[in-house]
Chain A
Amino acid sequence: MKFRAKIVDAACLNHFTRVSTMIAKLAKTCTLRISPEKLNFVLSDRVASGGVSMWCELEQENFFSEFQMEGISAENNAIYLDLTAENLSRALKTAQNARALKIKLTNKHFPCLTVSIELLSVSSSSRVVTHDIPVKVIPRKLWKDLQEPTIPDSDVSIYLPVLKTMKSIVEKMKNISNHLIMEANLSGELNLKIETELVCITTHFKDLGNPPPASEDASQERPPEQMAEVHVDIRKLLQFLAGQQVNPTRAVCNLVSNKIVHFDLLHEDVSLQYFIPALS
């Protein structure tokens, strides 16, 4: 099993750093899946993560000038590594003025992802920063739980408002209740509601627009005014929103009534899917 990659372009490096920072905000530990074409950051819906799951995908050739990998075997040409997301984010952040960044899978007493950064320096001498991020190699038998999630058939699909706005609203609501109701319809309306004995607060977002339906039948069946609602833990929603430092290129929310909220985001060329289950 081998992995080695290199980034030399400053813009690619910054973008990759932003992605890793976002992942670090969304999950404490996650799985990094390395395959010949792609890198994925995966969080499977284990009890530990409270049922939240995540699938982030990026095309390696959009970032790396060099990329070589060899999976476990020819038929299973992938590498699955568990790591603490914050370590990767911290390591990449030290590469602000890097001439080049290399990532390698190594075994220094224990398996590591070694990030080696050559810094630009004023003097002629080079400076090298190396970070050894401990990783856990995931055996092939467990790979089945870490595959790309199937997109559920949603009742309503809607474009999201500016995420920063949503975040500041949800932050304030969190002080009042942990139980948030998300509802949306096919007329571009999204509501965030909390209800307690003393007070009910609803924030209405209008004219958001809905993505074109997957199939003709689906759209005709459902009355445009009818809301699909999902009750979620507000903290999980907040964690998701807090991870989005930059407003995405495209942000869609799919609601399956009383089941799950599925966020489908695109940050330039990096796709992120995030699932929050309904409160039972």
Chain B
Amino acid sequence: MKCLVTGGNVKVLGKAVHSLSRIGDELYLEPLEDGLSLRTVNSSRSAYACFLFAPLFFQQYQAATSGQEALRCKILMKSFLAVFRSLATVEKTVEKCCISLNGRSSCLVVQLHCKYGVRKTHNLSFQDCESLQAVFDPALCPHVLRAPARVLGEAVLPFPPALAEVTLGIGCGRRVILRSYQEEEADSTVKAMVTEMSIGEEDFQQLQAQEGVAITFCLKEFRGLLSFAESANLSLSVHFDAPGRPAIFAVKDSLLDGHFVLATLSESDLHSPALCSPELHRLAPPLQAHSTPHLDDFASDDIDSYMIAMETTADSEGSRAVPSIPLSPGLRPPCSPGPFSEDHEAEPSTEPGTPPPKKFRSLFFGSILAPVHSPPGPSPVLAEDSEGEG
């Protein structure tokens, strides 16, 4: 295999690698007929990401030397990322990037041709592997929304960088709602701040979903694709189904496409109130289409009844009025390994690391074996038959 990337595309490639590094620790590189594919999956198999760069993205693209099988390899994400560590430097100094792999050498060679005749060569060791392939089809998802990445970037701005999960859905008045999702621990009375962003339908290029549908997914993983889409000025589309089924986030242009497939929390895992329910109308007026100030009265302030209850308890108990609610800074530790809702088949994950949303179920993965080869090394652990829920 030999690919040559020049000019601004080097930075695009670097940015894609940065995005992928937010998901997994290993990068699967596979030169295909229709382009170079870079894929990764997280250790709990709840997130999968892939970028496909078309042959035209490259100044020169040779998937396989004639007569040879196209090689597939798996590299440490850390090593590949190190090549593109500083995107600012890459943008300023790198003129060409050449990625080559031949069966005889045991290294993936990434060579950066920089200004002033400087040439940086990275020899990255790799492992042969079978193709990492997640089976998913955006067309099968009933709900779609699509917006310029900038809109979605602005939408996630109010949320703290450490927030692990977010709920995305359609609220009343066809407004798209993003709300911070907090896992509530049974024994904790600590309440976290809830942030919600509401965007009008008009900001979306496509919105095909009914009021009330919502999914909850890992925000940190989504940010990976979002930052790529923002820098490339692309539109990002979100294809989703019922809670629990994976959501597909996609970007596309003539030279590349990217897909992030993220697991979503299933109904049984969700604690937060539905985005658009009759009960919520009473509790959370902001979810409605923006009302004029005059209509905004104290109707939702039930604090009086709470206060009255409190005073009477104070009289009878004499010491403390109500159970106090100790407060925390509202930020949950990003890697809280919550109880993993494990009532399913999932393959035992062999890696010790635990990514944040441990309770996300494993995505459905298919295993695609090359017709001639049998998998040479330990196969990545993949899930099973399609009848299983996602």
Contacts and interface: CB of A to CB of B under 8 A. Distances in A.
A127 B330 CA distance: 23
A118 interface: yes
Contacts of A137: 303, 306-307, 310
B379 interface: no
A127 B324 CA distance: 34
10 contacts: A2-B304, A84-B327, A84-B329, A86-B330, A87-B193, A94-B157, A111-B306, A123-B203, A130-B286, A137-B307
A144 interface: no
A137 B327 CA distance: 12
A116 B191 CA distance: 19
B286 A128 contact: yes
A22 interface: no
A102 B197 CA distance: 15
B314 A139 contact: yes
Nearest to A97: B154
A254 interface: no
A5 B194 CA distance: 20
B303 A107 contact: yes
Contacts of B327: 29, 82-84, 134, 136
Contact of A108 (B199, B283, B305, B329): B283
B334 interface: no
Contacts of A109: 283
Contacts of B191: 110, 134
Interface stretch (B122-130, B290-298, B351-359): B290-298
A71 B324 CA distance: 20
Interface in B119-174: 154-155, 157-158, 160
Contacts of B335: none
A46 interface: no
Given A127-B200, A129-B195, A86 B329 contact: yes
A127 to B, nearest CB: 5
Contact of B284 (A87, A94, A108): A108
B301 interface: yes
Given A1-B307, A94-B158, A129 B203 contact: no
Contact of B199 (A82, A125, A134): A125
B91 interface: no
A84 B330 CA distance: 8
Contacts of A90: 160, 193, 330
Given A6-B293, A84-B327, A94-B157, A107 B194 contact: no
Given A105-B301, A123-B203, A91 B193 contact: yes
Contacts of A236: none
Nearest to A125: B200
A105 to B, nearest CB: 5
Contacts of B200: 123, 125-127
Contacts of B40: none
Interface in A98-122: 100, 102, 104-111, 114, 116, 118, 121
A125 B199 CA distance: 8
Interface string A215-253: 000000000000000000000000000000000000000
Contact of B301 (A84, A87, A106): A106
Closest 6 CB pairs of A and B: A125-B200, A134-B191, A94-B158, A107-B302, A139-B321, A125-B202
B249 to A, nearest CB: 21
B193 A132 contact: yes
Given A125-B203, A130-B196, A141-B314, A105 B303 contact: yes
B329 A125 contact: no
Given A130-B197, A131-B195, 9 more contacts: A72-B307, A72-B311, A84-B330, A87-B329, A104-B301, A106-B300, A107-B305, A130-B286, A139-B321
A126 B198 CA distance: 8
B118 interface: no
